[in-house]
């Protein structure tokens, strides 16, 4: 491993510290009785507090001034200044811990524990007066620092690829990024509390599945050695959750990690998080009302308002949301009525509109491509798109009033789908026919067509009550709620291409 000059210097410092008899990675913990955020919030409003404070954090800057020094320490809650004097840190003859260790051998990025009291400097800055410190972890790599060139300040760690690969460094030097992930967790907690409040049961279903199903997507494939069988990482958990409805549960949901072996862009990551909900004796109209209510609640819980700024747009989540049927939306944005077209007509229309298509696409994918290219990007405010063609929705129930359609909706917001829902198909004979149609698409080369799941059909044959089902993309919703432009910004460790090492 080739080391940079700074890395060599830090390793030499590490060895000097060890030679002094100091453990640079002590086994015992360090007492923490306060956080920086707590101190900055409460002091100096009440200057009787924090007379004996002990905290841990990372050195982020240093100003050495002979027998006294200022530095900054950062913990999970914030960053603040500390001050230390040589003769207080080293009250005897031996000044090693200040003159040698702190001044020369410690570096920005090292993790230390400090004890002392809080005061306000003459410049009005809340500061920890350190009486004692201890090295807790020596950092062997330097942190990127803010630089200035030709009068412009820039940060060495703003390149997205670097940030996604080294999220641990991103969180250190860009601590505001932590707020994105805090909001993501709060989003999930808000959704969970809403569903729990309605009495639905949170469950877990298999990630490794003998058959993949529940969505149109290419799976990741693996092999189980002991059973000598092929298994797939789930692309959705729908078919397992519906088995639980067959088994007698009235409402089940799961926050699931799903995996799809498909392209990557700012809206797609091969590993993503989805919440799927299934409720017996309900339909898609009922589920639309639930989605409106739940997402509005999430916005209120996280922002205190139903309005959320996303890029240049102010998104309003207050109910009711706008609604289009799929054919109405296509007619609205293209001026063309495709509702009565066969596959040939759809193919010609797609070419006329400049939509990319390929010979493997059936009616469903042709319609989906036209909608995705000519309608979806223009749906900024939350909008329900309803009543999809049956060819697009192998798991949805046929529409009660409209021939050739199913009872399905998607919620589109900021130009992208955030959820998908059906009145679930519970007719096992119809479901078998839909699966068989998917098999025919697979023979034509459609690599995202569904497979026929005999056990799921067997479950339906035992009888499933009318059921409403919903899948919400947590990552996509988090992008909107946190005003993040890319899915990689709301996933701690997004998938990346192999790192080039020149």
The CATH number corresponding to 5-137 among 3.90.78.10, 3.40.640.10, 2.60.120.260, 2.40.50.140 equals 2.40.50.140
DSSP β-bridge partners for residue 209: 232
pLDDT-based confidence at residue 256 (cuts at 50, 70, 90): very high
Retrieve residue 61's tokens.
């800057």
pLDDT in tens, 277-327: 999 999 999 999 999 999 999 999 999 999 999 999 999 999 999 999 999
Going 272 to 278 to 283 to 287, the CA torsion angle's sign is negative
pLDDT in tens, 108-166: 999 999 999 999 999 999 999 999 999 999 999 999 876 655 656 555 688 899 999 99
pLDDT in tens, 302-316: 999 999 999 999 999
Phi, psi of 495 (to 5 degrees): -70, 140
Retrieve residue 99's tokens.
């003159």
pLDDT in tens, 345-387: 999 999 999 999 998 888 888 999 999 999 999 999 999 999 9
Give me the pLDDT at residue 152, please. 61
Q: Domain 177-321+381-490, CATH 3.30.930.10 — does that match?
A: yes
End-to-end CA distance of the chain: 12
Give the predicted TM-score (pTM) of the model: 0.91
pLDDT in tens, 332-352: 999 999 999 999 999 999 999
437, pLDDT greater than 70: yes
Other CB atoms within 10 Å distance of the CB of residue 462:
10
Under 8 Å between Cβ of 253 and 201? yes
481, pLDDT greater than 80: yes
**What is the mean predicted confidence (pLDDT) over 60-82?**
95
Domain boundaries along the sequence of the chain: 5-137, 177-321+381-490
What whole-number distance in Å separates Cα of residue 313 and Cα of residue 483? 10
């Amino acid at each position: 491993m080739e080391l940079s000059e700074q890395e060599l210097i830090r390793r030499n410092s590490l060895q000097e510290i060890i030679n002094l008899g100091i453990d640079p990675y002590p086994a015992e913990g360090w007492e923490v009785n306060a956080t920086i955020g707590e101190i900055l919030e409460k002091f100096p409003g009440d200057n009787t507090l924090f007379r004996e404070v002990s905290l841990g954090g990372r050195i982020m800057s240093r100003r050495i001034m002979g027998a006294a020094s200022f530095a900054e320490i950062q913990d999970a809650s914030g960053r603040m200044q500390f001050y230390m004097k040589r003769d207080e840190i080293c009250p005897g003859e031996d000044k090693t811990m200040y003159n040698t260790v702190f001044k020369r051998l410690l570096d920005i990025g090292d993790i230390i524990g400090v004890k002392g009291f809080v005061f306000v400097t003459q410049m009005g800055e809340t500061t920890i007066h350190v009486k004692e410190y201890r090295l807790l972890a020596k950092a062997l790599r330097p942190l990127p620092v803010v630089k200035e060139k030709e009068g412009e300040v820039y940060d060495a760690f703003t390149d997205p690829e670097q940030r996604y690969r080294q999220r641990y460094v991103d969180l250190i030097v860009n601590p505001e990024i932590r707020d994105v992930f805090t909001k993501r967790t709060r989003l999930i907690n808000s959704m969970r509390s809403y569903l729990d409040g309605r009495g639905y049961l949170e469950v877990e279903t298999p990630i490794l599945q003998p058959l993949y199903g529940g969505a149109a997507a290419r799976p990741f494939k693996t092999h189980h050695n002991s059973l000598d069988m092929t298994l797939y990482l789930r692309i959705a958990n729908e078919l397992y959750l519906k088995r639980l409805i067959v088994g007698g549960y009235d409402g089940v949901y799961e926050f699931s990690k799903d995996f799809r072996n498909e392209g990557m862009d700012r809206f797609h990551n091969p590993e993503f998080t989805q919440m799927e909900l299934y409720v017996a004796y309900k339909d898609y109209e009922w589920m639309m009302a639930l989605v409106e209510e739940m997402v509005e609640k999430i916005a209120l819980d996280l922002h205190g308002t139903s309005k959320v700024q996303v890029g240049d747009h102010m998104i309003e989540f207050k109910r009711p949301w706008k609604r289009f049927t799929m054919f109405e939306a296509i007619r609205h944005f293209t001026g063309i009525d495709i509702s009565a077209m066969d596959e040939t007509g759809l193919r010609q229309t797609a070419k006329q509109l400049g939509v990319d298509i390929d010979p493997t696409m059936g009616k469903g994918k042709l319609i989906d491509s036209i909608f995705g290219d000519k309608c979806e990007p223009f749906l900024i405010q939350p909008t329900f798109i309803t009543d999809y063609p049956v060819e697009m929705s192998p798991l949805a129930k046929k529409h009660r009033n409209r021939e050739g359609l199913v009872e399905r909706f998607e919620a589109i917001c900021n130009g992208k789908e955030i959820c998908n829902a059906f009145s679930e198909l519970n007719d096992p004979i119809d479901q078998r026919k839909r699966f068989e149609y998917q098999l025919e698409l697979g023979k034509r080369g459609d690599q995202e067509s569904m497979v026929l799941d005999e056990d799921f059909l067997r479950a339906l044959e035992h009888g499933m009550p009318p059921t409403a089902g919903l899948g919400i993309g947590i990552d996509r919703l988090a992008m909107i709620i946190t005003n993040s432009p890319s899915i990689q910004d709301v996933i701690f460790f997004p998938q990346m291409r192999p790192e080039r090492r020149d």
